[in-house]
């Protein structure tokens, strides 16, 4: 699998932690000396290996937004820390193509005794910017964080919400190619939450790659191009957000029902008992979309389309075996809401490269930025978004998401 077409490629990654298992007891120097004189053995310390991840495979297409879901303790945060380089894998490989900025834990990377302004400079340099670049963006970062005079106070005096404001402002203003977020956006007031969501939507519309760990399943369904379900340290399912979330909810409900019958919590087990229809999806790709583009009638990509102009969605694909296939295209708003979806079924596809074209005689969309998400897959395989692109629609009279074909007329009242 080529890493150049993917922002992140995780291959058969396992991560083990060593946990000490030692009998704990209070002691003093005197008691230890008496124990030594009597020849008594000290408490024996052993170690246990905790398998946080067990052979995880994941390929994240460039420019996609990926939601990672699963129970607490399933390995989601460990995976993000492996991708950001905080941890190294026990086995397997992690390949990252692009500069990463991460929001993992409150206060992570901040020195408590330094001011907010000083921490902006330190974090910007850590994230790969020069001192001059950080200083050039300092005012913009401070204004976005909305910390007022606290920006020149030590960050140990900050509340959790203030920590989040500063961390988010830094992470999103250092021009990352890959943004990684681990549930931190749940902290903060409603005003800044909306401001953060708008910034994330801006990232998504500009073609940045986003990896998001969240317990908000609605967010994954509405905002992500691809969903990954991790449970018990393994990848349970990868595919379209609606499908993965539906199967995850079904498994959780089944586990809760089993808990009520037995009186034991099935949700605290190492892995959820999966229904028979839920199985890890094969990572072998025999058919996939490579690129998607939006062009006009001349095959060119203008700076913006007119609302009444025609447009074509062109999906290039690769097939490693002769087979039938399906091409799915979703038209989404900049914040990930699905506006329209359609699927084309091809009876026979040749081995090698090919192209599918979806033509709209009229765009019919309102002013703004729009996203196209495309996938190619065999009929029996859950579609995974493999290519995304964005395009603009010009200003025009009227407001709203769509622009239906319409005419106005002035008529004399009936007599």
Distance CA 30, CA 22 (A): 21
> Looking at 23-27, 50-54, 161-165, 208-212, which range is the least confident one?
23-27
Average pLDDT, the chain: 80
Residues 306, 223 share a domain: no
Instruction: Name the nearest CA neighbour of 338 among 232, 212, 221.
Output: 221
- 184 and 328 together in one domain: no
Tokens of residue 157, six digits? 């005096």
How many angstroms separate the CA atoms of 401 and 415, rounded? 38
Question: Which is it for the CA torsion 220, 80, 279, 263, positive or negative?
Answer: negative
Residues 304 and 207 in one domain: no
Q: What is the number of helices (H) and of strands (E) in the chain?
A: 8, 16
Higher pLDDT, 82 or 222: 82
293 and 210 in one domain? no
Lowest mean pLDDT among 79-88, 240-249, 382-391: 382-391
d(CA 249, CA 274): 11
Among the listed ranges 208-217, 379-388, 397-406, which one has the minimum average pLDDT value? 379-388
Number of structural domains found in the chain: 2
372/374 Cα distance (integer angstroms):
7
Residue 148 in domain: no
Distance of alpha carbon 5 from alpha carbon 165, whole angstroms: 33
Asked if residue 244 is part of any domain, the answer here is no
- Is residue 59 located within the same domain as residue 188? yes
Q: Are residues 203 and 328 in the same domain?
A: no
**Which of 227, 243, 264 is the endpoint of a domain?**
227
pLDDT digits (tens, 9 = 90+) for 60-84: 888 889 999 998 888 998 999 999 8
Between strands 387-393 and 368-377, the pairing is antiparallel
On whether residue 261 sits in a domain, the answer given is: no
Name the residue with tokens 């400079």: 121
CATH of the domain at 328: 2.60.40.10
Collapsing DSSP to helix, strand or coil, 263 comes out as: coil
User: Quick check: is 384 in a domain?
Assistant: yes
- Work out whether the CA dihedral 397, 400, 406, 410 comes out positive or negative: negative
Query: Where in the sequence is the domain holding 318, given as residue range(s)?
Result: 287-393
Percent of the chain scoring above 70 in pLDDT: 80
The answer to the question of residue 11 being in a domain is yes
Helix (H) or strand (E) holding 325: strand 323-333
Per-residue model confidence (pLDDT) at position 20: 58
Question: Is residue 266 predicted with pLDDT exceeding 60?
Answer: no
pLDDT score, position 1 = 40
Q: State yes or no: pLDDT of 279 exceeds 70.
A: no
Residue 169: inside a domain: no
Evaluate whether residue 216 is within a structural domain.
Answer: yes
Most confident of 172-176, 272-276, 304-308: 304-308
Same domain membership, residue 292 and residue 384: yes
Q: What CA–CA distance (Å, rounded) separates 365 from 110? A: 44
Same domain? For 94 and 13 the reply is yes
User: Based on the domain organization, do 301 and 208 belong to the same domain?
Assistant: no
Residues 85 and 183 in one domain: yes
Residues 295-332: tens digit of each pLDDT = 998 988 887 888 889 999 999 888 888 778 888 898 88
CATH number, domain containing residue 184: 3.40.50.300
**What was the pLDDT predicted at 93?**
92
Helices (H), ranges, 93-130? 116-126
Confidence of residue 94 (pLDDT cuts 50, 70, 90): very high
CB burial of 101-137 (b: ≥16 within 10 Å; e: otherwise) equals: bbbbebbebbeeeebbebbbbebbeebebeeeebeeb
Of 202, 227, 252, the last residue of a domain is 227
Q: Are residues 200 and 325 in the same domain?
A: no
pLDDT class of 348 with cuts at 50, 70, 90: confident
**Global pTM value:** 0.58
| Whether 308 and 383 share a structural domain | yes
Is 413 inside a domain boundary?
A: no
């Amino acid at each position: 699998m080529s890493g150049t077409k993917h922002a992140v490629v995780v291959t058969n990654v396992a991560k083990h932690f060593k946990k000490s298992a030692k009998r704990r007891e209070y002691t003093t120097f005197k008691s230890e000396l008496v124990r030594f004189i009597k020849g008594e053995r000290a408490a024996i310390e052993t170690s246990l290996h905790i398998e946080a991840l067990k052979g995880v495979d994941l390929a994240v297409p460039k420019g996609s937004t990926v939601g990672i879901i699963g129970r607490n303790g399933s390995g989601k945060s460990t995976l993000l820390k492996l991708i950001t380089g905080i941890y190294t894998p026990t086995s397997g490989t992690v390949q990252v193509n692009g500069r990463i900025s991460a929001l993992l834990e409150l206060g992570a990377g901040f020195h408590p005794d330094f001011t907010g302004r000083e921490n902006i400079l330190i974090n910007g340099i850590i994230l790969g910017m020069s001192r001059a670049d950080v200083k050039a963006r300092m005012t913009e970062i401070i204004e976005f964080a909305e910390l007022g005079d606290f920006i020149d106070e030590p960050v140990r005096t900050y509340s959790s919400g203030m920590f989040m404001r500063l961390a988010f402002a830094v992470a999103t203003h250092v021009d990352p190619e890959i943004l990684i977020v681990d549930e931190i956006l749940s902290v903060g007031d409603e005003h800044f939450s909306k401001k953060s969501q708008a910034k994330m939507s801006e990232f998504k519309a500009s073609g940045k790659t986003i990896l998001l760990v969240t317990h908000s399943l609605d967010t994954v369904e509405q905002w992500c191009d691809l969903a990954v379900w991790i449970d018990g340290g393994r990848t349970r399912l990868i595919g379209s957000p609606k499908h993965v979330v539906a199967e995850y909810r079904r498994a959780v409900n089944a586990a809760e029902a089993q808990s009520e019958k037995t009186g034991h919590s099935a949700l605290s087990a190492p892995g959820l008992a999966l229904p028979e229809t839920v199985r890890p999806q094969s990572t072998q790709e025999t058919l996939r979309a490579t690129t998607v583009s939006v062009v006009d009638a001349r095959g060119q990509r203008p700076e913006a389309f007119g609302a009444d102009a025609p447009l074509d969605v062109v999906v290039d694909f690769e097939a490693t075996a002769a087979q039938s296939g399906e091409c799915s295209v979703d038209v989404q708003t900049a914040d990930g809401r699905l506006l329209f979806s359609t699927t084309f079924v091809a009876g026979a596809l040749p081995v090698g490269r090919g192209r599918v074209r979806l033509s709209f005689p009229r765009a019919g969309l309102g002013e703004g930025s729009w996203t196209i998400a495309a996938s190619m897959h065999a009929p029996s395989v859950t579609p995974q978004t493999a290519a995304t692109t964005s395009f603009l629609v010009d200003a025009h009279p009227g407001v709203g998401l769509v622009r239906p074909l319409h005419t106005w007329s002035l008529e004399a009242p009936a007599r």
